[in-house]
Amino acid sequence: MKPSTLVRLAAVGVAVTAMAACTPRRPVETGTGEVPPPSNPQYPPATGPISGGNLGAPAPGSEQDFVVNVGDRVYFDLDSYSIRSEAFPRLDAQVAWLQRYPGVTVRIEGNADERGTREYNLALGARRAESVRSYLIERGISAARIDTISYGKERPIAAGSNEEAWARNRNAHTAIVSGATR
């Protein structure tokens, strides 16, 4: 055979082999209608869904853990510092969290909406903060771990001069001061 014929035959052989390698193969059936998992000694077969575990989850005992898993704010009615019944579960969760992390200290920040004088709202914010502090103390949190401050209407969390904004701004915020994990 001529060398050019050998080169052509070799090229044809390579092309046929490449095409055979690219042709999809039908999986072997096991008789149960199931396709067996591929056997690959480097990777064990998957046994369930892949999950990220706790990636991105707040670290236990962190400020983010407190905010996300417990809640750091309760709301009040207009011109009131009485704790609303729907706030009790959140405050009870704060008590449980603070008992779990005894090295954490907090500051209760009392807030008011924009209506009323500066002096009136500072006094109302102080009474709101104190009512939350008293609730936590009555349920076993040491008074030495809780400070209070009133911001009155000076630190609104919702912009606007409407009932929705005012309702959000009438709150007591429990802020972690120290002792939380990072």
User: What mean pLDDT comes out for the span 105-122?
Assistant: 98
Give 54's pLDDT tier (boundaries 50, 70, 90). Answer: low
Q: How many CA atoms lie within 13 A of 49 on its CB side?
A: 3
CA distances in angstroms from 141 to 86, 147, 179, listed in the order given: 20, 12, 15
Q: What is the DSSP string of 86-107?
A: GGHHHHHHHHHHHHH-TT-EEE
Residue 76 pLDDT > 70: yes
Report the range of poorest mean pLDDT among 44-58, 65-79, 137-151, 162-176.
44-58
Q: Where are the domains of the chain?
A: 63-178
The class that CATH gives domain 63-178 is alpha beta
| Percent of the residues in the chain that have a pLDDT greater than 70, as a whole number | 70
User: What mean pLDDT comes out for the span 2-11?
Assistant: 57
